[in-house]
Structure 1
Amino acid sequence: MKTATSILFDGEEELSFVARERWALWHITRACNIECKYCYGSFSGASYKQLGFHPMELNTAQCVDLAAKLNDHFDGVHINGGEPLLRKDLPFILENWVAIGVRPRVWLLTNGTIRGKSLDRVVESGALDLVAVSIDSFDAQVGNSMRERSQDALRTLKRLIDKRISGSMSAHVGVYTVAHDRNVHGLRELAENLVQLGVDYVNLQPAFSPGSEGPSGSVLNSSAWEVFQDFFSILRSGSVRVSSQGARDTAKWLLSRTGKSTAANCFADQHLYTYISPNGVVFNCPVKAHVSVGQRWESADFSVKDERRHECGHLSVDCLGMYEMASGPMRAR
């Protein structure tokens, strides 16, 4: 039986989702080579570029073993960082995963600044269902005001689409966009360009929610929601798969309500969403230490599903990735 999660506002249940899939978010490295205005590392007081590699990051052999363990328990694995391609062993890890048989759909998110043989080996490994590039604007000035080397990301995106068209890689091509006060008015133009390029999937998330700690730039207001709707509409008319309806509805409610919001029976509590940190510690949620107790990946029982009913007052756009994955279906096409 599928497990439902309820979203409550001021104590009244107003929105609910049914979990269809079980996803792991594998934060494979903390290191990054660029600065982004919306970097999640800022929750720790510094960007991932400033923090660098975690001193206890998993080595190659441990990553290979972890991939094999994830094989048996998840519908999907989302690999991100930091910048995953800074790990020189990533092609080897994925190629070994293919050798034993990749069961989950594996998605990789990159900032698009690292190209060459490493990128080629990763996307041509056969392990990935989707490779996504972080793109916030096609306008160089706007893009560079949000993150470094935005034009490099656009070049990588075009290169990946060429590879997919030529048949040298089987993975779908996606884009992850952060809606920030610097780019929100250009989102319609961005959607039109992504349709023209032939992108398969686009994920849009607002930068930060009201009351969250981290860099400013939140665009959570009613006028932004209208832009979001247009953004999704343009993409759908161009046959581009977009963020799940559940995630969009959650964003809408967050935009329209100022009252206290909570998540009851959260997917993370049920182990339908699992976060794996760079040092191999496993959490049900990356931002709520009181919800989940970290375990080393070697001893973590990924088969466990917790049926407790728990209410959390941290519901925010940070949770959208979780709902995106669990309420799916997450298909690039």
Structure 2
Amino acid sequence: MSLTTKELSNTRLEGNSKIKSKTWIQIKRNYELYLFLLPVVLLYLVFRYYPMYGVQIAFKDFTPSKGIWGSEWVALEHFIRFFESYNFWAIIKNTLSLSFLSLLFGFPTPIIVALMLNQITAKRYKKFVQTVIYAPHFISVVVLVGMLNVFLSPNSGMVNHIITLFGGEPILFMADSGWFRPLYILSGIWQETGFATIIYLAALAGVSPELHEAAIMDGASKWKRILNVDIPGILPTIIILLVLALGNIMSVGFEKAFLMQSDLNYDTSNILPTYVYEQGIQKAQYSFSAAIGLFNSVINIILLFVVNRVAKKLTETSLW
């Protein structure tokens, strides 16, 4: 005997009410956990979502005296102005070059270090190496750039002293545009490899020892066990971190690039974040800089969805 439309709707309403009641029962039962989550939720609402209200100035000719709502609507004028500017392609090229090179050399390094540390049997030596490579993570960017200035100084820097000792000429590392990218990338690898290594070591700890025992019984060497046991075991972690890294390919660290920037290396150090600072803070072109920042964010979101979809199709591992 078939149910009428009214009976079906009543059944659905009853089912939905039961689900809601069960949800509220779960919330009441575990309210302490939700209270722990509350500060994080409030933090994101205040500092991540509420500022989105101001994104609309990218489509307006913002005037502080008129406010956001009172400013004149100009639609895509600021975006077109940025796309037609003489240095648009230079800025995009500098940003992408720095991002891709940092990813190319910086992403595999912690994986290699983690695989090497995982093979070390001496626990004290392993802990010592972990501490040494992890310590630079706690150094602030300002201190890091200060160290670069001290060590690479053409007059008193240790590196140039070694160069002159072997008969070479002092190099103006911090003022040479050709040295900006290598210094940025190498200093980033030195500072962040230790932190990323911990993530991969944790993933390696989850690899079943029985797989290694079976590989040893089959006569596999350490190198073959790394290739056929360790790397497949941490592959999902590698893919997830790679998707996140590619999704932020346009978001180069502003602080270090800005601190390393000078008039002499401006042609390679002028990237999107520093250009936004220059236009928005130094020149007070708030709407124009907001449009550039929004363009940057939209590109990152598109890349994140595309890379995540490709990773899901090829490896069945993705963020969602």
Q: Could you tell me the TM-score, scaled by structure 1's length?
A: 0.22
Q: Which structure's residues are more often strand, by fraction?
A: 1
Q: Which has the larger radius of gyration?
A: 2
